[in-house]
Amino acid sequence: MVPYPLAISSAFTSIIQCSTGRANSLFQFTSKKPKLNSHSNGVLNLKVSVKVKGKEEEEEEVKVVTAMRSSYNDIVIIDTPKSRLLLLDSTNNVHSILNKQGDKWTHSYWDEFATLPPILPKGPVAIFGLAGGTAAHLMLHLWPSLQLHGWEIDGILIDQAREHLGLSDLEKPTEAGGMLHVHIGDALSPSGYVSRKYAGIVVDLFSDGKVLAQLQQDATWSELNDRLLPNGRFMVNCGGINDNPTDGTWTQNYTINALGKAFPGKLSWKRKPKEQGENYLALTGPLPDLTLWSALVPSHLSEGVKQWKPCEP
């Protein structure tokens, strides 16, 4: 681990100005030249203009809570009055959001992952690509009895998420008995193939702002299928509009194409609207009864559930 020096001020201007990549421009930051405070802990305070799509631009005080480099990521956690954001890799994409003011929901693809449990068989659920734990927070909020297993390759990132993003709270049993079990390691490597199988697996694996190349190969999905219980499902973040050229349909998304080869006739897709990031999502298994499924989730998620459709030529 190599902590960034206070010279991060010059780099942070580009971080603040970038779009979010994985959340695809839900947030846009602009900043005047920041001023460093002189505290030895390296905390950086500055005023930025924060523009969330569909809302008026607001000026907010932003603080860099932590900034360091691990073997896998450039880790920056920033704090605003309303939320904490985890930025990673050279693209400075937002990988996790923790809202601090009542509403836990992100109005982006993370919310979709919380809709998965009611269409799964009984059993534990995994997240491949835990990052700061946004999906885990939402899933345990909605399904507090869930046994959730989060896989993350970056142990230093997990330490920071425990300290600054509330991840440690999820590792304690809820009143209903559910909790998060954290596994540090490569979820796609043979060493990650333990005997446990999962009722469902959320896959949210990126590197340098792009879906992992392995996930664009149907052989990877055929192997990963062995980690599902009978009738289990994958729900996959297949990237945003910048991952590859697209006409707005699933046919030009490389990850969905690979999934389609591994699960012929048993794959559904949807695309988040522009104001929610435009990410493509995929769901394996037969298309669920969307009316029944939508009735099992909160009202603000039910309309999104109805937007799933089968991948058809």
pLDDT in tens, 204-259: 999 888 899 999 999 999 999 999 999 999 999 998 755 455 556 778 799 999 99
The answer to whether residues 114 and 95 belong to one domain is: no
Share of the chain above pLDDT 70, in %: 76
Task: In whole angstroms, give the CA distance from residue 285 to residue 292.
Answer: 16
Least confident of 29-43, 71-85, 143-157, 259-273: 29-43
Question: In this structure, how many other beta carbons lie within 10 angstroms of the beta carbon of residue 303?
Answer: 10
The answer to whether residues 133 and 263 belong to one domain is: yes
H or E segment to which residue 283 belongs: strand 280-284
Nearest in space to 13 (alpha carbons), one of 57, 80, 83, 64: 64
Is the pLDDT at 36 greater than 60, yes or no? no
Residue 23 lies in a domain: yes
Q: What's the pLDDT band for 103 if we cut at 50, 70, 90?
A: confident
The answer to whether residues 114 and 192 belong to one domain is: yes
Q: What is the average pLDDT across 114-137?
A: 98
The answer to whether residues 181 and 224 belong to one domain is: yes
The answer to whether residues 58 and 122 belong to one domain is: no
Q: What is the average pLDDT across 30-44?
A: 35
Task: In whole angstroms, give the CA distance from residue 233 to residue 17.
Answer: 37
Q: What is the pTM of this model?
A: 0.83
Residue 249 lies in a domain: yes
What pLDDT does residue 278 have? 82
Full domain range(s) for residue 30: 2-99
Which residues make Cβ contacts (< 8 Å) with residue 141, sequence separation at least 6?
104, 114
Nearest in space to 133 (alpha carbons), one of 81, 94, 170, 163: 170
Least confident of 25-34, 54-63, 167-176, 264-273: 25-34
Strand, coil or helix: 93: strand
Which of residues 52, 76, 99 is at a domain's end?
99
Q: How many folded domains does the chain comprise?
A: 2
What pLDDT does residue 246 have? 52
What pLDDT does residue 312 have? 84
Which of residues 46, 78, 99 is at a domain's end?
99
Residue 104 lies in a domain: no
Q: What's the pLDDT band for 193 if we cut at 50, 70, 90?
A: low
Strand, coil or helix: 140: helix
Q: What's the pLDDT band for 66 if we cut at 50, 70, 90?
A: very high
Q: What is the average pLDDT across 174-202?
A: 89
Q: What's the pLDDT band for 56 if we cut at 50, 70, 90?
A: low
Is the pLDDT at 283 greater than 90, yes or no? yes
What pLDDT does residue 77 have? 96
User: What is the strand order of the sheet 228-237 is part of?
Assistant: 179-184, 147-152, 125-128, 198-203, 228-237, 280-284, 267-271, 309-310
Question: In this structure, how many other beta carbons lie within 10 angstroms of the beta carbon of residue 134?
Answer: 31
Q: What is the average pLDDT across 251-280?
A: 90
What pLDDT does residue 1 have? 32
Residue 298 lies in a domain: yes
Nearest in space to 270 (alpha carbons), one of 115, 45, 54, 79: 115
Instruction: Evaluate whether 198 touches 126 at the Cβ level (below 8 Å).
Output: yes
Q: What CATH number does residue 176 fall under?
A: 3.40.50.150
Task: Quickly list H helices, 166-308.
Answer: 167-170, 218-224, 254-262, 290-295, 299-305
Residue 215 lies in a domain: yes
Which of residues 76, 99, 122 is at a domain's end?
99
Residue 255 lies in a domain: yes
How far out from the chain centre does Cα 18 lie? 18
